[in-house]
Amino acid sequence: MPYIDMDAPGSNQLFIGNEAMARGALEAGIGFASAYPGTPSSEILGSLAEIAKKRDIYVEWSVNEKVAIEAGAAASFAGIRSLVAMKMNGLNVVIDFLSTIILSGIGKKGLVLMVGDDPAAHSSSNETDSRPVSKWLDIPLVEPGDFQEAKDMMPFLYDISEEFGTICIMRSVTRIAHARGNIRLGEIPKVEHKARFEQYYDTAAPMPTPIMCIPSSFRHMFQHMRIDKIREKFESSAFNKYVGPEKPDLLIITSGSGWLYSQDAVNALKAEDRIGILKLGTLWPLPEKLIKTHLSRADKVLFIEETDPFLEGAIMEFAASFSPESKRNLFYGNHTRHLNSFGELTPDAVIKAITGVLDIKYEPRDAEYMKKVEAVPQQYIMDRLLTFCPGCPHRASFWAIKNALAMDGRHGFVTGDIGCYTMALGPAGFFQTRTHQCMGAGAGLANGFGQLSRFGFDQPVVSVVGDSTFYHSIIPALVNGVHNHANFTLVILDNGATAMTGFQPHPGTELTAMGEPAAQISMENICRAIGARVEVCDPFDLKNTTRTMLDLIEQNEGARVAIMRRTCELVRQKKDKKPYKMKIDPDKCLGEDCGCNRLCTRVFRCPGLIWDPALGKTRIDEVICNECGVCADICPEGAITREAVA
Amino acid sequence: MNKLSKDPINLVVAGVGGQGNVMVSLVIGNTLVHDGYFVTIGETYGSSQRGGSVMSHLKVSAEKQYSPLIPEGQADIVLGMEPVETLRVLKSFGNQNVVTVVNPRPIHPVDFTGSGSGYPDMESLLQQLKGMSAKTYVVAATEEAQKLGNAMLANMILIGALIETGLVAISQAAIEKTIKDMFPKAIKENIAALNKGKELASVLQ
């Protein structure tokens, strides 16, 4: 596989958007990068980590986003170009710091925050649009419209950041960050990084001052002045592009993923001579003169944006300030219901929006083919629910939690968190999880539920978190729970990696992002030091794990902890052979006649087990099964057997 | 770089999470980019886990960078790693000219409940696929891969079959170079699988 730092300027490579951004940061000469993993942003730091030692830069997976941005800012303060990356949820975590660094300004070298948004929430608990933060907090924001721009915008943004002394944001979306496209590589400069903290950065003060956000109102005014200067700069940026006729029947204003979709849609409608597309790459501050020029050339304007109508609102607000003699445009977009302000943008959604404004007919397929499409029997394309991998320790952990809660019998429930185990909302985790919010929320909620016995609440509460989540945001909740005697059980599913986002290390793992030995932080030591009872078990030992879980639940007092420890199956299979040879004895499997109600394929539902309706028995899919052995302990008839592989 | 029979060529790779869908599109995409084409790949996926429907959209052009999603009904080729998923893709992206390459090995969903009707009958499922494609190549990729000793080689068998259709401009030399770059520890097995796929598809020509 090619590395992002390949020394082949001018060559064409197929990069995902995140790799393009990481390459762009290298071409900008960064010396420091920090991040917390989150789809769709993880590959930025991941790809930098692979080459960090070779390129003599420092790269770290920080414990959470807030530490990541503060660490990155320190590098900027000391004169090192610095990149910080996170998904949109992380942006929420760092708002507090952003609200002060826009006042204090940065150091001598640039600081760029890369935020990856996830419209349609493919891998997220929400689909928040990050762009409004730029207007809210006065932060310059750019957004790449294709893969080449994802790379080329980075050096541009570092120059802006340094020239104006402010943090800058690059926002991307899943369809740029996680899509692949062509990148023409540039040069990676050889930078002699020299770090020193000089307390002089302040353009207004005659004396050396600390980097600080006070006096706040004065600095707030100063940030507004910076934004106005940056607006001037953005007016002439080559990242704002226009294609189409001089005076179009319809002007599309778009950014990000909408740029390629709009071109594809206009192309599909064969309307290149009627429709113009203004693509903004520098979104905030708005390049107002450029926008005004284009507005003056068209009557009808359609905003094509993914998720929020951000440009739509900002540009209509700007147009409202025009003098009465100015041209008035007819604006279309989310406010006229031509486009949704939720879910994912697609070429089809853009085609629909355009045909809703202009009188253009579009039939994607002929009637005869559509008849065939409509005749496809629904049962032939049944839904596929997401589930844990075959051999995933989480399936076993939730089996134990489910059985312990059932044995307790007081209608206990799980408060969920963010990771693969979020799927325990559904059949993958036997519907045990009843709340799902943001990172750390399950433990916070458990703190509240755990105080409600005085109001008659008697249900056991189990907060289930992952190992990386534990370090990220659970520790304060556990401190709170022990201190205030909240009644809940915290279960940490320790699979030794940040599995959902691609097996990044965390403070409990052996190596750092750069592959160096890490000081491993023991989660049981932390929990015990806080004062919690801690039990450690192997989820594949269903019997012991269930018993331990039941004992913890029935303690019914204070915050206590179960650590269910077993390596992620996807990590294990890279290192070891399959541990067992699994078999099902068709004579022992009683199928529908067994009293178990097909426990293995109706309830346990590992994808490695198949119900064979012709045979009336369960089979193993030898292509899918990872031979973990757990289902042998589920079958009441002992029909499923595991034989250890030597 | 050869001129394409159509520009862009729209290819959908359809499968189930864990089958190697992303790797298949990466092998095809890398090969074409190194041959000078513009390639855009978008993945529609059910998170990063197993068991959900996964599809990759590839757009290949000699002229420009296209968006990562194919509009409704605009697929030229569907490369199906799993039969139900292939039908699902044809329903949204198929048209009267689409060519389908399909691996008839089912991956059973986990969500059949006691009253579920089970996985569709394979013969009628393949009939559906054929009825919705201008040409269909049924390539027993998993079965052949198991004979080669590793079920994951099914993906390279399918790529071989796809190349054999002649619809994507990939030469033997170019694909072998990609295999050497991407799978340096398993060059021989992958080339053997690739050739097996070509052989299987050539019989169906």
Residue-level pLDDT at A501: 83
pLDDT in tens, B108-127: 888 654 445 678 999 999 99
pLDDT confidence bin for A110, thresholds 50/70/90: very high
Whole-complex ipTM: 0.94
- A568 and A626 in a single domain? The answer is no
**CB-CB under 8 Å, A386 with B49:** yes
**CB-CB under 8 Å, B132 with A500:** no
Residue recorded with tokens 């067994």? A594
CA distance B204 to chain A (A): 24
The verdict on residue A84 lying in a domain is yes
Residue-level pLDDT at A201: 54
The verdict on residue A264 lying in a domain is yes
Which pair of tokens denotes residue A17? 């958007």
Report the chain B residue with the minimal C-alpha distance to residue A265: B71
CA distance B36 to chain A (A): 8
**CB-CB under 8 Å, A384 with B46:** yes
- A425 and A570 in a single domain? The answer is yes
The verdict on residue A596 lying in a domain is yes
Q: What homologous superfamily is domain B9-107+122-204 in, according to CATH?
A: Pyruvate-ferredoxin oxidoreductase, PFOR, domain III (3.40.920.10)
Average pLDDT of the segment spanning A591-600: 91
Domain CATH number, residue A302: 3.40.50.920
Residue-level pLDDT at A500: 80
- A296 and A227 in a single domain? The answer is no
pLDDT confidence bin for B50, thresholds 50/70/90: low
**CB-CB under 8 Å, A1 with B51:** no
pLDDT in tens, A284-306: 999 999 999 999 999 999 999 99
Cβ pairs bridging A and B (under 8 Å): 187
Which A positions 377-396 lie with beta carbon below 8 A of chain B? 377, 379-390
Q: Are A421 and A394 in contact (CB under 8 A)?
A: yes
**CB-CB under 8 Å, B95 with A381:** no
Name every chain A residue with its beta carbon within 8 A of the beta carbon of B38.
181-182
CA distance B164 to chain A (A): 23
Name every chain B residue with its beta carbon within 8 A of the beta carbon of A348.
71-72
pLDDT confidence bin for A557, thresholds 50/70/90: very high
Region of B104 please: left (phi>0), alpha (psi -120 to 50) or beta.
Answer: alpha
Which pair of tokens denotes residue B26? 């990466």
Residue-level pLDDT at A580: 95
User: Which of A264, A385, A623 shows the shortest C-beta gap to B111?
Assistant: A385
**CB-CB under 8 Å, B65 with A260:** yes
- A192 and A245 in a single domain? The answer is no
CA distance A154 to chain B (A): 20
State residue A112 phi and psi, 5-degree precision: -120, 130
Domain end residue (candidates: A524, A559, A574):
A574
Q: Would you give the DSSP letter of residue A450?
A: T
The verdict on residue A83 lying in a domain is yes
Q: What's the structural domain count of chain A?
A: 4
Domain end residue (candidates: A574, A589, A604):
A574
Which A positions 421-440 lie with beta carbon below 8 A of chain B? 423, 427
Residue-level pLDDT at B5: 85
Domain CATH number, residue A550: 3.40.50.970
Domain end residue (candidates: A190, A216, A235):
A235
Domain CATH number, residue A614: 3.30.70.20
- Mean residue pLDDT of chain B comes to 92
Report the chain A residue with the minimal C-alpha distance to residue B57: A179
pLDDT in tens, A463-509: 999 999 999 999 999 999 999 999 999 999 999 988 888 889 999 99
- A607 and A538 in a single domain? The answer is no
Name every chain B residue with its beta carbon within 8 A of the beta carbon of A376.
87, 91, 128, 132
- A19 and A44 in a single domain? The answer is yes
Burial A160-189 (b: 16+ CB within 10 A, else e): bbbebbbbbbbbbbbbbbbbbbbbebbebe
Helices marked H in A531-612: 542-555, 569-575
Report the chain A residue with the minimal C-alpha distance to residue B35: A12
Which A positions 461-480 lie with beta carbon below 8 A of chain B? none
Count CB neighbours of A85 within 10 A: 33
Where does A499-616 show beta strands of DSSP type E?
534-537, 559-565, 580-584, 609-612
pLDDT in tens, B75-113: 999 999 999 999 999 999 999 999 999 999 999 888 654
The verdict on residue A3 lying in a domain is no
**CB-CB under 8 Å, B109 with A623:** no
Angle in degrees, CA A224, A225, A226, rounded to 5: 90
CA distance B203 to chain A (A): 26
Three-class SS of residue B81? coil
pLDDT confidence bin for B18, thresholds 50/70/90: confident
CA distance A48 to chain B (A): 19
- A61 and A152 in a single domain? The answer is yes
Model confidence at A170: pLDDT above 90:
yes
Residue-level pLDDT at A203: 59
Q: Which helix (H) or strand (E) holds A171?
A: strand A168-173
**pTM of the full structure:** 0.95
* Residues 6+ positions from B135 with CB-CB distance below 8 Å: B99, B100
Residue-level pLDDT at B48: 45
- A540 and A522 in a single domain? The answer is yes
Residue-level pLDDT at A208: 63
**Most distant pair of Cα atoms in chain B: their distance:** 54
Q: Which amino acid is at A72?
A: G
User: Which of A12, A381, A388 shows the shortest C-beta gap to B91?
Assistant: A381
Residue-level pLDDT at A603: 92
Among A436-445, B17-26, B98-107, the least confident range: B17-26
Q: Is A503 on the interface with B (CB under 8 A)?
A: no
Helices marked H in A410-487: 441-449, 467-469, 475-483
**CB-CB under 8 Å, B111 with A605:** yes
CA distance A508 to A497: 9
Model confidence at A226: pLDDT above 60:
yes
Average pLDDT of the segment spanning B143-160: 96
- A220 and A106 in a single domain? The answer is yes
CA distance A496 to B68: 34
Average pLDDT of the segment spanning A26-54: 97
Q: Would you give the DSSP letter of residue A28?
A: T
Residue-level pLDDT at A393: 97
Q: Are B65 and A181 in contact (CB under 8 A)?
A: yes
Average pLDDT of the segment spanning A380-408: 94
**Chain A interface disruption, residue of B64, B70, B76, B111, most A CBs within 10 A:** B111
Which pair of tokens denotes residue A201? 């950065």
- Mean residue pLDDT of chain A comes to 95
Name every chain B residue with its beta carbon within 8 A of the beta carbon of A500.
47-49
Model confidence at B35: pLDDT above 70:
yes
Average pLDDT of the segment spanning A349-355: 98
Q: Is A500 on the interface with B (CB under 8 A)?
A: yes
Structural domain harbouring A32:
12-235
- A201 and A266 in a single domain? The answer is no
Three-class SS of residue A174? helix
- A398 and A312 in a single domain? The answer is no
pLDDT in tens, A183-224: 999 999 999 999 999 766 555 555 567 788 999 999 999 999
pLDDT confidence bin for A90, thresholds 50/70/90: very high
- A60 and A171 in a single domain? The answer is yes
